[in-house]
Structure 1
C-alpha cells in the first residue's frame, strides 16, 4: 500500500511539473504587437475601425508611425480607445527632429499620455555613412539620458543598409557597440535576412538589447525566383522558431512587433497582416 501511494505521488508530481513547464513556456513568449505602417492605407480611411480589426486578429498592442487619425491632438482619448479594444501602445517610431531641443518636451508629453515608453528612431540615412553614424550614436546616447527620468527609452530601427561593411564589421555593430545598454536595438528581421545576415545571431550578439523586435518577412533577391516563397510569415524561408526562442531567452524582448510592407497576390494590407499573424501563431503554438 505504501509503495502504491509513493507511485501515485510521483505520478502527480510529474504531471504537475509538466503542466508548470508548459505554462512557463507559454509565458516567455512576448506579446504580439503590429506596426501601424503595415496598414497605412486603411488607417487613413478608417482609423478606429482598422484598430478594431487588428484587435480582433488577436494582437495585444500597436506600434505607432506618426498617424493618429481623429486622435491627433487627443492622446489620452486614443489611449482610452486602445484600452477599450484590449490593446496597448507597444512603442512608437519617431524622428530625431521630434526629440530635438525644440520638440522634446512636447513629444514626450504626447507619448506619455498615450502610454508609450519606447521612442524608436525609425530611419536616418546617416546610420550607414562613415561619419554620419558617429552622429547617430552621439544623439542616441544623449536622448537616452534625457528620457531616463521619464521612464522612457529610445532606440534605433535598422534597414538593410546598416548591415553594410564598416570598420571590419557593420554599421549596425558600430551602433550597438557604441550606444549605452539602455538604447534599444530594434532588429527588423526582414531587412536583416534581406541583407544576408542571421537575425538569431544578432539577438545573441547583443543580449538584452532587442527589447522590441520587428517580425517582418522579406525575400532576399537571390530567392525571388522561387515563386513558392512569399513575404508572409510562415510562407518564407526565415527560421522563426529559432528567433522566437532567442528573443524569449536572450533578447530581453518585451514586444514582438509584426510589420507587413509587402502585399503579395493582390492581398489587402489587412489580409496580409492577418496571414502573417496566423503564420506566427503557428510557430508559437509549436514551440
Structure 2
C-alpha cells in the first residue's frame, strides 16, 4: 500500500507541473487524476515523468466514460490502472429523482469493457448513495450488485456525512473496496470556509483505527488524500503526507 493525492484538491493551483514537483518533494510517489486533466494525455504523462510520479488511479465522469474506447486510450497513454467514476451523471440523482438501477447497469457495462482491456473500474461515493429505496436498498448496493467487476473507492468521510458507520460498510462490502479517500471533518462550526472539511489528522475522524480496519478487511491498495475545498492545497498536501506516514501507510 502507498498513499496518493487526489489532484482535484489542487485544481486551483496555477501550475500542474510545479504542483506535481512539490508533491514529490513532500514524499508522494503517486497521484490520482481527475477528468479535467485529460485533454492532452501525452503532456500529462510527460509531466508525471518529469516529477517522478505515477498515476495508478484516476476519476473520469460518466459522460467521459460512456465513450469507453476513448477513455481507455487515455488510460493507456497516462499509465492508469484503475478508473473510478466520481459521481452520478446529473443533479437528478442528488435530489432523489435519478434512476440508480439504470445508472448501475451503465457502470456495469463500462466495468466489463475495462476488464476486457485488463484495467480496473469502480465507483467513488458521496452521501447520495446511501439513501435507501422502497426495497431498503441503497444506491451503493445497487451499483455493486449490478456487476462483480465494479469496484468501490470508499470516500469514508462522505459515508460519515451520510450518517452511516463506515465500519459497517467495511465489514459488509470490504471485498469490493479497492481504494479509500482519506479526508477529515472539522469540529462542528469550524472550517466553514472549507465546507467543514479538515486536513487529514487535524479533524475529528479516528483515522488510525479506520486504516487498521481497512488494511485488515478490504482489498484497498491506495489511500488517496483528498480535501474538497482546501484554502491552501499545498498545506493540505503537507499535513496529509505527515499524517499518513505517522499512521504507517
Summarize deviations over 1:29-54 as a string: whole Å, max 9, x none.
Answer: x1111110000101xx1110111011
Aligned position for 1:171: 139
Gaps of 5+ in 2: none
The structure with more radius of gyration: 1
The counterpart of 2:128, out of the listed 161, 164, 175, is: 161
The counterpart of 1:52, out of the listed 21, 24, 36, is: 21
**How much does 1:77 deviate?**
4.6
C-alpha contact 2:45 2:77 (8 A) present in aligned 1: yes
Question: Could you say what secondary structure the match of 1:207 adopts?
Answer: helix
Question: Could you say what secondary structure the match of 1:53 adopts?
Answer: helix
Structure ranking higher in helix proportion: 1
Alignment of 1:66-81 (within 5 A): 66-68=35-37, 72-73=39-40, 75-81=41-47
Q: Is 79-88 or 232-241 further displaced after alignment?
A: 79-88
Gaps of 5+ in 1: 1-29
**How much does 1:131 deviate?**
5.7
Alignment of 1:10-25 (within 5 A): none
**How much does 1:144 deviate?**
1.1
Q: How many residues align?
A: 241
**How much does 1:183 deviate?**
0.9
Root mean square deviation of aligned Cα: 2.3
Question: Could you say what secondary structure the match of 1:165 adopts?
Answer: coil
**How much does 1:85 deviate?**
2.8
What is the distance in 2 between the residues matched to 1:143 and 1:90?
18
C-alpha contact 2:65 2:71 (8 A) present in aligned 1: yes
**How much does 1:130 deviate?**
6.4
What is the distance in 2 between the residues matched to 1:218 and 1:171?
23
TM-score normalised by the chain length of structure 2: 0.87
What is the distance in 2 between the residues matched to 1:247 and 1:234?
17
Q: Is 30-39 or 195-204 further displaced after alignment?
A: 195-204
Alignment of 1:134 with 2:105, yes or no, is no
Cα 1:127/1:210, change in 2 over 3 Å: farther
**How much does 1:80 deviate?**
4.1
TM-score normalised by the chain length of structure 1: 0.76
